[in-house]
Amino acid sequence: MQSTDKDFLTVCGGCNAKIGAGNLAAILKSLPRPKKSDRLLVGYNSDDDAAVYKIDDQTAIIQTLDFFPSMVTDPYLFGKIAATNALSDVFAMGGEVVTCLNIVCYPEDSNMKVLEKILKGGAEKVKEAGGILAGGHSIHDHRAKYGLSVMGKVAPDKILRNDRVKDGDVLILTKPLGVGIVISSYNAGQASENAYQAAIDSMTTLNKYAADIIREYPVDSCTDITGFGLAGHLTEMLHGEYQATLAAENIPIIPEAYECAGNFLTTAGGQRNRDFIDDRIKFTFDDYALQEVLFDPQTSGGLLIAVQPQYADEMMTKLEKLSTHPAVIGQVTKKAPTDKVEIIVD
């Protein structure tokens, strides 16, 4: 008997399904390094969001892919979320989306109408991003998984890296945190419809609109917040040489996510993130719920932007016109060589 749409998509995925940063780092260290090329501007020898390959002095290709099992029961929403998440890396690196390929894993004996809805949601987001859906690849698997391989383009001198912060940079976050906690709590019957809808709205909003604004300014560094949470992706941005002080009251959070975290409704991915970077973050006050929100894996999270103070106010004036509740959350300073702490939450 064919399954219904609702009970087919078991909730077990999103960026919470990512392999932990600690395990991943150990694996990557053991792999042989590729032949050095002056045209490979960004490769996997860094922790950046995507690969970048230079074609000529005017054009470089951004290449990325992302896919995962669903974190929602609605297949159409799953398609939209997975595509929005996969497209985000191109925007985080300052690029424009060109072409996309579907990545599909789907059970052989399941309702194909469900898969049709997943693909419809994804196709709509590719179109909204300005890209062309050019094909894809599918295999049978015991659980549905979906995402995209995305090619973008950027001028070589306009690439936004995730490890180019400067002393004094202001940190801006363009979406609220807590979607992982909210979705897992909702699926357990512990979060409200309002909180769930806030998480869905965030996960299905393209980072294109924030990226279009920040391209107007000399941004020093940028990344998108996904499976390693704000704390994990910020440590990548600081890359051991800088320290960030975050103003706790300014960090945008889906309100119910904070409440759920305080009731110990957290995620396995959040615990993996805590285990990996707990010794590099210092809280000046006791707030378990806030800690969990900062470690929480974000599916299709916002952009984290580092920009010099003289541009921050004007940029924020434009970003605040978006519906995503952006906020200035902290500042970057040079770290003392003897200091092991990279993030201070004050």
Residue 137, marked binder: yes
260 is catalytic: no
Q: Is 48 annotated as a binding residue?
A: yes
Q: Are 244 and 170 in contact (CB under 8 A)?
A: no
To the question of whether residue 57 is assigned a binding role by annotation, the answer is no
Report yes or no: 222 and 147 within 8 Å, Cβ to Cβ: no
287 is in an annotated binding site: no
Q: Binding residue per annotation — 167?
A: no
The rounded distance, in Å, linking the Cα atoms of 217 and 207 is 16
The answer to whether the annotation marks 163 as part of a ligand binding site is no
89 is in an annotated binding site: yes
Cα–Cα distance for residue pair 304/225, rounded to 1 Å = 7
The reply, when asked if residue 66 is annotated as ligand binding, is yes
Q: Is position 275 annotated in a ligand binding site?
A: no
Please state the φ and ψ torsions of residue 280, each to the nearest 5 degrees.
-105, 5
Active-site pick, 15, 100, 105, 222: 15
CA distance 218 to 159: 11
Integer angstrom CA distances of residue 49 from 66, 87, 250, 338: 11, 11, 25, 29
Cα distances (angstroms) measured from residue 29 to each of 3, 26, 109: 43, 5, 40
Half-sphere exposure of 322 (CA within 13 A, CB side): 26
Residues in binding site for ATP: 18, 46-48, 66, 89, 136-138
Residues in binding site: 18, 46-49, 66, 89, 136-138, 224
Please list the active-site residues. Answer: 15
